[in-house]
Amino acid sequence: MKVQLFVAPGGYFAERWRKGSSMPPLGLLYIAAILEQEGHDIQIIPADILRLKFNQIQKIIRQFEPDIIGVTSTTENRFQSFKLIKKAKEAYPRALTVLGGPHASMAPEDCLTHIPELDVVVIGEGEETMKELCSIWEERADLQSLEKIAGLAYRRDSQIRVNPRRAPIMDLDSLPFPAFHLIPFEKYNFRFEVPGRGLLPAINMITSRGCPFNCNFCATPINWGRHVRMRSPENVLQEIEYLKDKYQVDVFFFFDDTFNANPKRVAKICDLIIERRLNIYWKCDIRLDLIDRPLLEKMKQAGLFHLSFGLEAGSERVRNEIIHKKINIDDFHRVVKWCLELEIIPNAFFIFSHPTETWEEAQETIRIIEQYQDKIEGSIAILHVYPGTPLEKTAKKLGVLPPDFSWAKPHPAKIITLPTAQGDVPLFLDKLTWSQVSELVFRWSFSQGKISVVDKIPQVLKNIRSPQDLGRYLIMFVVFCRLKLKKFSRKLPRLLGKQD
């Protein structure tokens, strides 16, 4: 079979990828590796990295004449992925169009209902499902044959059919390494700043799938499952050594949702890195209450230089009763202290505007951020609503989203998004006003030294789609000016004193 796999133009719409660096699409690379093993002819087309326009994509499709066209999707970039499906079917109607990725997995029926050019949705892990789809489509090439494939949703006889979910892949060691050779790796310019070493070439890896926790806003437990499946330490080291030799990378980004879900496995991985003297640097995301000082010291010895963790909210009520994070604030302060002592960069995740969160409770979050100003990196977001999550149900119950909301149709004007900064995802506002949320965002920006309003103006203007959007951006501008003036007024006495 001839299969083309696409990342849509525009990429993943994350702020960290706006500086000329991007991360290869591991999901597509794993699927491509499996299909290559089966003898299929595979192309991966990262339209974002190649800066392809839709007419150029159509030309590539016509030249290849694929049997199957697969497109990955996130909620942030879903409209670009939907458009690519439509353009693909227009360019080559004979091809079976397939949508996968986190967004399609969480909203398969919505996608199929509103995108007539879409034939099939892959739900959850795509490797075995795509392998079986290619095999069956090669034999019969009719929609009726799809009914036996677990993990698929499709349209037949004008009816949407959702097959049972596929059982998760338990033995992750059985998977081939991602097919990095099918992408123009050098064009990703994937690099990280390592203290004392500067910008170094990097690569991404995933060593486990699933998350045992149950945060109300997160799609991971639904997409990957709450049972964490882990690659063996030996298998992880084998890939590290292969990638380091093949692509001359120095930095590894372990892209697991909870890298330390099994602390003993992390210790074993570190022991192997140290024993083999790999001389690498790496970063990962952890759960705060599953790490102790000895393990963190070993991770540092093995090359850890950057550690990310989610606190999400300063308020204990919001954090544990609303989000269901179940994290103690003492664990946060303790891990930050250890990181600073061990010269590991701590990067904390915070979110504003949770359900029922009051202005006073939001102040607890911003005070923690400001307490560690110039000591830690802070990553913040206004709470996003994703399909299929408990938060989506809450959003519909409270009227943040209408009961008949479709993820595949243009948003009603009253739904708040900030596509310039955080992708085209509905934002959750409950007790906080837009002015209050704007103040929180700018106070975080000031604490991080990351404010550059002028640079964002062209992007903002391009994404204004309604009078409501314009009004929200004007409110943000007013809040920004007020805070800037307040900040300047504090500095003025010192400036005048220096002049004297």
- What confidence score (pLDDT) does residue 418 get? 80
205 three-class SS: strand
Token pair for 215: 């945060």
Does 34 fall in a domain?
Answer: yes
Residue 494 or residue 405, greater confidence: 405
First and final C-alpha spacing in the chain? 79
Please indicate, yes or no, whether residues 14 and 147 belong to a single structural domain of this protein. yes
Average pLDDT estimate for 446-451: 70
Check residue 50 and give its pLDDT: 95
Assess whether 153 and 198 both reside in one domain.
Answer: no
CA pseudo-torsion sign 324, 329, 335, 336 = positive
pLDDT of residue 213: 87
Is residue 419 predicted with pLDDT exceeding 80? no
Q: What's the rounded Cα separation, in Å, for the pair 325 and 311?
A: 8
Same domain assignment for residues 201 and 113: no
CATH number for the domain that contains residue 11: 3.40.50.280
**More confident site: 486 or 434:** 434
User: Residue holding tokens 């606190």?
Assistant: 311
Tell whether 154 and 195 lie within a shared domain: no
Domain count, the chain: 2
Lowest-confidence pick of 146-160, 302-316, 417-431: 417-431
96: closest CA among 59, 114, 64, 121? Answer: 121
Looking at per-residue confidence, does 97 or 157 come out higher?
97
pLDDT for residue 144: 85
Q: Are residues 274 and 156 in the same domain?
A: no
Q: Are residues 147 and 200 in the same domain?
A: no
Closest CA to 58 of 87, 32, 93: 87
Model confidence pTM above 0.85: yes
pLDDT reported for residue 243: 97
Last residue of a domain, one of 162, 178, 213: 162
Residue 355 is part of a domain; what is its CATH number?
3.20.20.70
Residues 432 and 387 in one domain: yes
pLDDT for 13: 57
When comparing pLDDT for 202 and 447, which is higher?
202
pLDDT in tens, 44-85: 999 999 999 999 999 999 999 999 999 999 999 999 999 999
User: Do 398 and 444 fall into the same domain?
Assistant: yes
Q: Which neighbouring-strand residues pair with 229?
A: 209
Which segment, 224-233, 268-277, 465-474, is predicted with the most confidence on average?
A: 268-277
Average pLDDT of every residue of the chain? 91
Pick the more confident residue, 469 or 186.
186
Which residues make Cβ contacts (< 8 Å) with residue 303, sequence separation at least 6? Answer: 273, 278, 279, 280, 281, 282
Domain identity same for 214 and 362: yes
Quick check: is 430 in a domain? yes
Looking at residues 135-164, what average pLDDT do you find?
91
In a domain, 17, yes or no: yes
Is the predicted pLDDT of residue 286 greater than 80, yes or no? yes
Strand partners, 424: none
Task: Give me the mean pLDDT over the 467-478 stretch.
Answer: 84
Q: What is the pLDDT of residues 153-193, one digit of tens each?
A: 999 888 999 999 999 999 999 999 999 999 999 999 999 99
Q: What is the pLDDT of residue 412?
A: 81
Mean pLDDT, rounded, for 302-314: 97
Indicate if the pLDDT at residue 487 is higher than 80.
Answer: no
> What is the layout of strands, in order, in the sheet containing 251-254?
191-194, 198-205, 251-254, 281-286, 304-312, 345-352, 377-382
Q: How confident is the model at residue 484 (pLDDT cuts 50, 70, 90)?
A: confident
**Burial of 431 per CB tally in 10 Å (0-12, 13-18, 19+):** middle
CA distances from 255 to 42, 260, 320 (A): 25, 12, 25
Per-residue confidence band for 7, with pLDDT thresholds at 50, 70 and 90:
very high
In a domain, 172, yes or no: no
Range 466-493 average pLDDT:
81
Same-domain check for residues 205 and 84: no
Tokens of 68: 């199957």
The verdict on residue 182 lying in a domain is: no
Rounded mean pLDDT of 426-431? 94
Residues 188-206, mean pLDDT to the nearest whole number: 95
Question: Which pairs with CB-CB distance under 8 Å and at least 24 residues apart come from 363-367?
Answer: 363/314, 364/313, 364/314, 364/315, 365/313, 365/314, 365/315, 365/440, 366/314, 366/440, 366/443, 366/444, 367/314
Confidence of residue 489 (pLDDT cuts 50, 70, 90): confident
Provide the pLDDT for residue 459: 63
Q: 20 lies in a domain?
A: yes
Exposed, middle or buried by CB within 10 Å (0-12, 13-18, 19+), for 266?
buried
Helices (H), 51-106: 54-64, 78-91, 101-106
pLDDT tens per residue across span 325-382? 999 999 999 999 999 999 999 999 999 999 999 999 999 999 999 999 889 998 889 9
Instruction: Name the residue with higher pLDDT: 372 or 222.
Output: 372
| Domain span including residue 283 | 190-490
113 and 66 part of one domain: yes
362 and 251 housed in the same domain = yes
Least reliable range by pLDDT among 126-135, 203-212, 237-246, 484-493 = 484-493
Q: What mean pLDDT is predicted for residues 408-431?
A: 85
Is residue 179 in a domain? no
Residue 208 is assigned to a structural domain of this protein: yes
For the cut 90, the answer to whether the pLDDT of residue 19 exceeds it is no
